[in-house]
Amino acid sequence: MSHPSTYEPKTGIERWLDSRLPIVRFGADLMSYPTPRNLNYWYTFGGILSFCLAVQIITGIVLAMHYDASGAGAFMSVERGIMRDVNYGWLIRGVHANGASMFFVAVYLHIMRGIYYGSYKAPREVLWLLGCVIYVLMMATAFMGYVLPWGQMSFWGAKVITNLIGALPLVGKPITTLLWGGFSVDDPTLNRFFSLHYLLPFVIAAVVALHIWALHVPGNNNPTGVNVKSDNDTVAFHPFYTVKDGFAIGLFMIMFAVFVFYLPDALGKADNAIPANPLVTPAHIVPEWYLLPFYAILRAIPDKLLGVLALAGSIGMLFALPWLDTSKVKSMRYRPTARLYFFIWIAATCVLGWCGSQEPDGKLFGIESFNFIDYPIMSVTWASRIAALYYFSFFGIMLFLGLSETPLPVPDSLYTPVLKTPVAAPAE
């Protein structure tokens, strides 16, 4: 870790251990990590995400004890075994299945926070890239997990997504065969997805460790985007932020519990309660909500390969963001123009998400309209095209805005805005 160690071994055994394996020192330094004193609740999602990962790993390991990864047995082992026969199986699966959604709620807010406060800018580019890697791994893990109950959506979702890769020239087909282990999605596919679904969360945990390491070297950004200038600007992580994060996790758990106990199937699809059938495609295939914006981008483009490239590009843009945003000012608090474009970007992403859940030729607001090129102008397809165009343009806007906009005056220290607020006397 980057800050000087303040740990003093007190007992003989601690001194003995400290010169052999300084693990207590490591933990103590993590807790005394100097953290900007002005972090708000948007900064609690890191802790919430760690909580989510732990929940998924613990419930997942338990589910794996009762799960049968075979085409013939998977559906029954989940729907009858885990949901009806295993003691508290319904609860553990409810937590795991809804936990994936909660995980994505948290990661989206965490990413939005990062963009708003410019946390990807120097010297935190590696931290940001590792975060993007985690996000991609999460999507892969959740996708493979969704295949495991082997219902209709599991099966056809797996088929559609693996076929996406088949769109790539030359390598596409051989890679799809490698993923399938056969001529189509089948038993071998299910088995390897189970194996990888078990593995990837541990890979995520390892990348999270790197992510936190890359956080502790430059230290946290903060809502002003102004660098920490003196010890006065920081407080120790414990107890200040352990308590704040803990409180936020508590609130998050309430929302989580509402889903698990009152709305356990609200985020799922009824079709997945029908066993996988390779001879019947469900009338309306949609991915889980957290993948809908990307699905809409894919469908908006009438060409198969270009659609897949746009899908990959929409995530690739996040990786490139540190080099696309040219503004020297980090926080959008002081960039009113950028802030406006950012909020429109969030709105466009939500529109894409909604479009992804609808039929491509569905009418907007029930309005009948004329055909423009291939679809009616007031159709879901055209709405997703316009929203997708803005989604991508945002990154170009960030490139030019940094050079042309006039930011508001930035405070000289992260402490100033706190002192200027008449009511909030800085409590120590």
Partner 1 sequence: MAQSLNPSASDPALAVDPNRRDFIHIAAAAAAAGGAVAVAWPLIDQLNPAADTLALSSLEFDLSKVPLGAETTLLWRKQPVFVRHRTPQEITAARAADHGALKDPESDAARVKAGHEQWLILLGSCTHLGCLPTFGGGEYKGWLCPCHGSVYDTSGRIRKGPAPKNLGVPDYAFLSDTKIKIG
Residues at the site binding ligand HEM, with contacts judged by CB under 6 A? 53, 56-57, 60-61, 63-64, 67, 78, 93, 96-97, 100, 103, 138, 141-142, 145-146, 148-149, 197-198, 201, 204, 268
- The option from ligand HEM, partner 1, none interacting with 283 (CB < 5 to 8 A, set by class) reads partner 1
Of 208 and 321, which CB lies nearer to ligand HEM in the complex structure? 208
Interacting stretch for partner 1, rule CB under 8 A, among 29-37, 144-152, 234-242, 280-288?
280-288
Is 186 near partner 1 (CB under 8 A)? yes
Amino acid at 395: F
Can you tell me which of 216, 304, 339, 363 binds partner 1, judged by CB under 8 A?
Answer: 304
Of 168 and 286, which CB lies nearer to ligand HEM in the complex structure? 286
Question: Do the beta carbons of residue 395 and residue 320 sit within 8 Å?
Answer: yes
Q: Is 235 helix (H, G, I), strand (E, B) or coil?
A: strand
Of 265 and 374, which CB lies nearer to partner 1 in the complex structure? 374
CB of 188 to partner 1, least distance (A): 7
CB of 278 to partner 1, least distance (A): 6
Residue (of 100, 10, 106, 8) closest to 56 by Cα position:
100
Is 282 near partner 1 (CB under 8 A)? yes
Of 198 and 237, which CB lies nearer to ligand HEM in the complex structure? 198
Q: Is 379 helix (H, G, I), strand (E, B) or coil?
A: strand
Can you tell me which of 239, 302, 336, 396 binds partner 1, judged by CB under 8 A?
Answer: 302
CB of 105 to partner 1, least distance (A): 27
Contacts for 85 with CB less than 8 Å, ≥ 6 apart: none
Can you tell me which of 66, 192, 238, 363 binds partner 1, judged by CB under 8 A?
Answer: 192
Question: Do the beta carbons of residue 225 and residue 118 sit within 8 Å?
Answer: yes
Tokens of 261: 């106990």
Of 188 and 336, which CB lies nearer to partner 1 in the complex structure? 188
Question: Do the beta carbons of residue 313 and residue 392 sit within 8 Å?
Answer: yes
Phi, psi (deg, nearest 5) at residue 320: -85, -10
Phi, psi (deg, nearest 5) at residue 363: -85, 145
- Identify any residues that bridge with 151 across adjacent strands, giving them in sequence order: 275
Phi/psi region, residue 40 (left: phi>0; alpha: psi -120 to 50; beta: rest), is: beta
Is 15 near partner 1 (CB under 8 A)? no
Is 238 near partner 1 (CB under 8 A)? no
- The option from partner 1, ligand HEM, none interacting with 110 (CB < 5 to 8 A, set by class) reads none
Of 138 and 332, which CB lies nearer to ligand HEM in the complex structure? 138
Q: Which of the residues 367 through 396 are near partner 1 (CB under 8 A)? A: 374
CB of 267 to partner 1, least distance (A): 21
Can you tell me which of 188, 239, 246, 426 binds partner 1, judged by CB under 8 A?
Answer: 188
CB of 147 to ligand HEM, least distance (A): 8
- The option from partner 1, ligand HEM, none interacting with 304 (CB < 5 to 8 A, set by class) reads partner 1
Question: Do the beta carbons of residue 350 and residue 290 sit within 8 Å?
Answer: no
- The option from ligand HEM, partner 1, none interacting with 280 (CB < 5 to 8 A, set by class) reads partner 1
- The option from ligand HEM, partner 1, none interacting with 46 (CB < 5 to 8 A, set by class) reads none
CA angle (206, 148, 177) in 5-degree steps: 85
Question: Do the beta carbons of residue 33 and residue 5 sit within 8 Å?
Answer: no
CB of 34 to partner 1, least distance (A): 43
Q: Which of the residues 245 through 274 are near partner 1 (CB under 8 A)? A: none
CB of 211 to ligand HEM, least distance (A): 14
d(CA 91, CA 4): 45
State how far Cα 122 lies from the chain centre.
22
The helix (H) or strand (E) run that includes residue 339 is: helix 336-357
Residue (of 9, 148, 164) closest to 75 by Cα position:
148
Residue (of 291, 333, 287) closest to 315 by Cα position:
291
Is 151 near partner 1 (CB under 8 A)? no
Size of residue set near partner 1 by CB under 8 A: 36
d(CA 49, CA 34): 21
Question: Do the beta carbons of residue 261 and residue 79 sit within 8 Å?
Answer: no
CA angle (75, 287, 105) in 5-degree steps: 105
Place of tokens 């909604």: 354
Does the bond joining 239 to the residue before it have cis omega, within 30 degrees of 0?
yes
Question: Do the beta carbons of residue 239 and residue 425 sit within 8 Å?
Answer: no
Can you tell me which of 31, 209, 257, 280 binds partner 1, judged by CB under 8 A?
Answer: 280
Is 426 near partner 1 (CB under 8 A)? no
**By the criterion CB under 8 A, which residues form the site for partner 1?**
156, 159-164, 177-184, 186, 188, 192, 278-285, 299, 301-305, 307, 360-361, 374
